[in-house]
Amino acid sequence: MTASFVDTNILIYAHDADAGEKHRLAKELISDLWESGAGVLSTQVLNEFYVNITRKIPSPLEPASARSVIEPYLTWTIVSPEPSSVLHASEIQQRYQLSYWDALIVHAAAISRAAVLYSEDLNEDQLMEGVRVVNPVSGPAVHDL
């Protein structure tokens, strides 16, 4: 089983029915990751997901509903940054010219030994820290698990 890290935006699309085709594609990916047991998240992703799903999507969830969506994901592999992650992420930020928060996502994906980082925010097919970026909602492209 190859680990696959999911960035916040993909998780949001999977639960935002107003996101159209991106919702369908992200929901399919998340379903595949549930079935394979390969899904990886970080505490950062779960925090960002909660804030965005309760405040920033067209039809926000109530906090209790958001918690009930998040709870099953706690069975996935969850990466929690360590104090040294601040330094590692800042190095990744500088090396790849990313935002600090995106660099922290890349760092979490790398320490989880994920082969793939599913994200809409990063450059498709870029290899960073041994992790390949894939945009699963960019259209008809098929994602590899």
126 in Cβ contact with 16 (< 8 Å): no
The model's pTM is 0.92
For the chain, 145 residues long, the average pLDDT of each consecutive 10-residue run is 94 96 97 97 98 96 97 98 96 97 98 97 95 89 42
Handedness of CA 5, 92, 139, 21 (dihedral sign): positive
Class of the 4-134 domain? Answer: alpha beta
| Integer CA distances (angstroms), 115 to 17, 60, 91, 133, in order | 28, 32, 20, 9
**Would you list the domain boundaries of the chain?**
4-134
